[in-house]
Structure 1
């Protein structure tokens, strides 16, 4: 009987099957892209704050995330918007009025984060 570890179920070991997992469009590339989307000290706190409220202005996010600089908040909001996890709503008013809210992709990402939390609870460091 052959020892079949879980690796064999997820990482194809045949030469012609490796592209599925390790190729430029394979599983590793897709998971790495998602990890990059949430990388950064403040991205997850921003997302979780937006899960709690349907839309927030920049000033409210800054108040709710003690320690974040305006520069870092702006950079992370821009990156999250570019990655499609949040939407920037510009009301076109003077003075400038902008709000941020989760996009459909951002709302669909919540179960992934919940699964990551469950994994962390079951596998303490």
Structure 2
């Protein structure tokens, strides 16, 4: 495979031994991009931070606590976060349906990174 050396990411100052590990199809950049896509969306971060603050919540509570979110968007984002294994849906199988949501173990690992990103932004000159 011929590689075009004019591509910008080849100018990243890393040793040739580490270049493939960082920039290849299974490299660090690919993994970070995957995480960003998982949390991308107007309401996903507010949902994650809200569930981080309270261990379990019903969708009606989330709807009340996140101003401006429609029921449709809340449902779509909850399903997407569940599909990406960032939240867990707890169905109590009761006659009157009762469902709660909580952060998954993977999301609990991600939250300190998101909090650091918030701190970075607050400290970053605009």
Measure, in 2, the Cα distance between the counterparts of 1:67 and 1:18: 44
1:27-76 Cα offsets, whole Å, 9 max, x none, are 11000011111111101110111111110001111111121111110111
Matched, 1:117 2:118: yes
Measure, in 2, the Cα distance between the counterparts of 1:124 and 1:50: 29
Matched, 1:85 2:86: yes
Measure, in 2, the Cα distance between the counterparts of 1:17 and 1:60: 47
Superposed displacement of residue 13, structure 1: 4.7
Give structure 1 regions of 4+ aligned residues with deviation exceeding 4 angstroms. none
Structure 2 counterpart of 1:4: none
Unaligned runs of 5+ in 2: 1-11
Measure, in 2, the Cα distance between the counterparts of 1:112 and 1:83: 17
Structure 1 counterpart of 2:40: 39
Structure 1 counterpart of 2:56: 55
Measure, in 2, the Cα distance between the counterparts of 1:105 and 1:119: 22
How many pairs were matched up? 115
Structure 2 counterpart of 1:67: 68
TM-score, normalised on structure 2? 0.84
Unaligned runs of 5+ in 1: 1-6
